[in-house]
Amino acid sequence: MKLVIAEKPSVAHSIAEVLGADQTEDGYIEGNGYYVSWCVGHLIGLCQSDAYDEKYKKWRYEDLPIMPNPWKHQILAKTRGQYKVLKRLLLSDEVEEVICATDAGREGELIFRLVYEQAKCRKPMKRLWISSMENSAIEEGFQNLRDGSEYDNLYQSALCRSKADWLVGINGTRLFTVLYQHKLPIGRVQTPTLAMLVEREMQISRFKKEPFYVVHIKHDELDAVSKRIQSHKEAEQLKGACQSGQAYVVSVEREEKSKAAPKLYDLTTLQREANRLFDYTAQQTLDYAQALYEKKLITYPRTDSRFLTDDMEQTAESVIEILKGRMPFMQELDTRVQVQNVLNSKKVTDHHAIIPTLEAAGADLNSLPRGEKKLLCLIAYKLLAATAPKQEYETTKVVLECQNAEFEATGKVINALGYAEIEQSFKQCMRIKQGEVKDTILPPLEKGMELNTVESAVSEHFTSPPKHFTEDSLLSAMERAGNEDMSNEVERKGLGTPATRAAIIEKLIHAELVERKNKMLLPTADGNKLITILPEQVKSAKLTADWEMQLTEVAKGLLEPEQFMRGIESMVMDLVSTYHEVSEETRNQFKRERKVLGKCLRCGKPVVEIKPGYVCESGKACGFGLWKNNRFFTTAKKQLTPEIVEGLLNKGRIKVGGLLSQKSGKRYTAYLSLEDTGEFVNFKVEFPQRRKK
């Protein structure tokens, strides 16, 4: 028997169908010489710090830095059951070979390898490496399984990434939390990302709007403009000198130009465009794309390539023909297909660009959820536009002279819309607002012509500040971070990877360091303060981009994992030794005035509200807390409000209505009080006594 391990149950079922395994068992599928099972995301993770020493349960400066040696992993509690299934299958005498079929990328490799290592499995290992969940792609992948050892370096890269994030996150968070007595989450990638947001807002706040002026000379339909003039007086003088005067045509340049069709999508450009056109967050786009991939409607989404391999020409042509008949925005269009536009094996890394699959031909698109359908249409549009002819146009640049000053006018005439015809049709079909594509035609002018009695005017303009980051522009900035400091020869990776950038943004929002406001991403007050107090090595986009580049080198076998980890460890040790105390005034800048709801039942200190619930100000030393998602109130479909907590702490008990009974399904009223076991705080329920008639 051969054991195939996929990353998710849905993927495992698709693989089992192709392999002819059709007997469903508990946690796996069996048949035709195969066991097909699955992980549920990560089943194994790095241990918490207290697994190395009990003292790490308390956060103290003197215990830093925490440097595990050797590193320990643990089975995650939520998925322990599925791990037991996999371990039993991995160690079964019936299994002769193990096939890794998790997502074909760094994290997919890590998910499988940690399970394989934790189970102490030593059986021969193969790797399924595919870019599509179509049946034909799965079949071809199993016919061309690769030896698992080919991906040892990829696994080491993933392991280094995991350990580096642990070291920076655990030590950085504890260090600055202890110093400032306020929970300050630090992350290897998320902190430099926050720093970019804070820096942008500082640039905007420091920006001073400055006026500038432009002088126009007009003759019939011609409107030519001067260069920027800083002085209003100077602009008015030039206007007066030119009024009703003569202008001479100094030069006329006409040029035939073309604009190439756009490239296909990698994950980052897909997320950016979906944010710009549909207001999807990066995480929403990734979730929709992953769902479409698992439904076999698009190819693997977590890619950083924007081309297809040269051997995909026939497949691409077949997909395009299907899309031309199925996509509503192509109904009245008939453009030439130029597949060569998107073929370039040299520019494809682990996976090619994202395109629809042949399965899209028979799929019921109307049955898809709205978000998935719109994203599929977007991916289809991009393939059709990318393989369409280029746009062709003619530009005219006219330079005139009046009173020894130069004025310029430009015109543009589109001769062939090319791919832009598909773009216009797509946006119209999807009801996306678009600017009108119009020709700018200049009157017939030739060098040496004289224009008599020109009219003149002055227009006032203002310099513009940098724009607030949106998810679109932040993803672009993360992708380009540190590039200006790298040579052209290196493979540029920026902050994070296409697969992780969405999660980084969501972490910052969850930590209340960043907030979404309309389409903008803005740092909160705490986010601004945090970046102000952090040293450069923690918030440096260049340093983090360098690390990401080194992880790529580890994956390629060009850098030893130990060398990468030594760099991370050295930075963490230097950080802890350098930052060991702060002034009282600086320490208190994160302190918030919170309303006291009552006295702690255990130690008598104030109880205040925090995001997860209501806790004693003594913190972990006391441990008293009432959590908003506690089982009693969640089951009763009732919110645990500050008013209820205040009543419980100050009066001992409080009457609460609107509680839902799980047995009857009806709402009821009861008196609630607290029962503290020393370890847990429980709610006691008493029902009001009915009056006797």
Q: What is the pLDDT of residues 415-429, one digit of tens each?
A: 999 999 999 999 999
Question: Residue 471: is its pLDDT beyond 70?
Answer: yes
- What pLDDT score was predicted for residue 489? 41
Q: Shortest CA distance to 524 belongs to which of 512, 533, 532, 534?
A: 512
- What pLDDT score was predicted for residue 533? 92
Please check whether residue 538 is in contact with residue 186, taking contact to mean a CB–CB distance below 8 angstroms.
yes
Q: What is the pLDDT of residues 314-343, one digit of tens each?
A: 999 999 999 998 888 998 888 889 999 999
Q: For position 528, which CATH number holds?
A: 1.10.460.10
Task: Provide the pLDDT confidence category of residue 186 given band limits of 50, 70 and 90.
Answer: very high
**Same domain membership, residue 238 and residue 121:** no
Residue 692 in domain: no
Give me the sign of the Cα torsion angle 511, 517, 521, 525. negative
Q: For position 328, which CATH number holds?
A: 1.10.290.10
CA dihedral 68, 74, 77, 83 (to 10 degrees): 160
Question: Residue 476: is its pLDDT beyond 90?
Answer: yes
- What pLDDT score was predicted for residue 487? 43
Question: Residue 349: is its pLDDT beyond 70?
Answer: yes
Over range 149-155, report the average pLDDT: 96
pTM: 0.83
**Same domain membership, residue 357 and residue 484:** no
**Same domain membership, residue 16 and residue 125:** yes
Q: Which percentage of the chain shows pLDDT scores above 70?
A: 98
Task: Provide the pLDDT confidence category of residue 692 given band limits of 50, 70 and 90.
Answer: low
How far apart (Å, rounded) are the C-alpha atoms in residues 467 and 282?
Answer: 19
Q: For position 99, which CATH number holds?
A: 3.40.50.140
Catalytic choice (35, 300, 393, 614): 300
**Same domain membership, residue 577 and residue 481:** yes
What H or E segment, with its residue span, contains residue 399?
A: strand 391-402
Question: Residue 163: is its pLDDT beyond 90?
Answer: yes
- What pLDDT score was predicted for residue 648? 93
- What pLDDT score was predicted for residue 593? 73
- What pLDDT score was predicted for residue 633? 93
- What pLDDT score was predicted for residue 490? 43
Residue 154 in domain: no
> DSSP letters of 213-253?
EEEEEEETTEEEE---BS-HHHHHHHHHHHTT--EEEEEEE
The last residue of one of the domains, among 539, 566, 585, is 585
- What pLDDT score was predicted for residue 690? 63
The last residue of one of the domains, among 560, 585, 610, is 585
Q: What are phi and psi of 221, to 5 degrees?
A: -95, 5
Please check whether residue 121 is in contact with residue 102, taking contact to mean a CB–CB distance below 8 angstroms.
no
- What pLDDT score was predicted for residue 248? 95
**Same domain membership, residue 8 and residue 138:** yes
- What pLDDT score was predicted for residue 691? 56
Strands 391-402 and 405-416 come out as antiparallel
Q: What is the pLDDT of residues 291-316, one digit of tens each?
A: 999 999 999 999 999 999 999 999 99
**Same domain membership, residue 666 and residue 517:** no
* Residue type present at position 681: V
Question: Residue 492: is its pLDDT beyond 60?
Answer: no
Question: Residue 241: is its pLDDT beyond 70?
Answer: yes
**Same domain membership, residue 378 and residue 308:** yes
Task: Provide the pLDDT confidence category of residue 595 given band limits of 50, 70 and 90.
Answer: confident
Task: Provide the pLDDT confidence category of residue 618 given band limits of 50, 70 and 90.
Answer: confident
Tell me the residue range of the domain where 499 lies.
Answer: 165-205+468-585
**Same domain membership, residue 175 and residue 131:** no
Question: Residue 120: is its pLDDT beyond 60?
Answer: yes
- H runs (alpha helix) in 119-151: 135-143
Question: Residue 488: is its pLDDT beyond 50?
Answer: no
**Same domain membership, residue 219 and residue 195:** no
Question: Residue 46: is its pLDDT beyond 80?
Answer: yes
Residue 285 in domain: yes
Residue 563 in domain: yes
How far apart (Å, rounded) are the C-alpha atoms in residues 321 and 325?
Answer: 7
Q: What is the pLDDT of residues 531-585, one digit of tens each?
A: 999 999 899 988 888 998 999 999 999 999 999 999 999 999 999 999 888 887 7
* CB neighbourhood size of 425 (10 A): 20
Residue 429 in domain: no
Report the mean per-residue pLDDT for the chain.
92
Residue 591 in domain: no
- Over its C-alpha atoms, the chain yields an Rg (Å, rounded) of 32
Of the candidate ranges 152-161, 215-224, 604-613, the one whose mean pLDDT is the lowest: 604-613
How far apart (Å, rounded) are the C-alpha atoms in residues 27 and 40?
Answer: 11
Q: What is the pLDDT of residues 73-86, one digit of tens each?
A: 999 999 999 999 99
**Same domain membership, residue 114 and residue 100:** yes
**Same domain membership, residue 398 and residue 359:** no
Please check whether residue 353 is in contact with residue 298, taking contact to mean a CB–CB distance below 8 angstroms.
no
Q: What is the pLDDT of residues 370-416, one digit of tens each?
A: 999 999 999 999 999 999 999 999 999 999 999 999 999 999 999 99
Is 300 among the residues known to form the active site?
A: yes
Question: Residue 506: is its pLDDT beyond 80?
Answer: yes
**Same domain membership, residue 13 and residue 127:** yes
Question: Residue 693: is its pLDDT beyond 60?
Answer: no
Q: Which percentage of the chain shows pLDDT scores above 90?
A: 80
Q: For position 405, which CATH number holds?
A: 2.70.20.10
How far apart (Å, rounded) are the C-alpha atoms in residues 282 and 476?
Answer: 12
Residue 151 in domain: no
Residue 489 in domain: yes
Burial 298-332 (b: 16+ CB within 10 A, else e): bbbbbbbbbbbbeebeebbeebbebbbebbebbee
Provide the number of structural domains found in the chain.
5
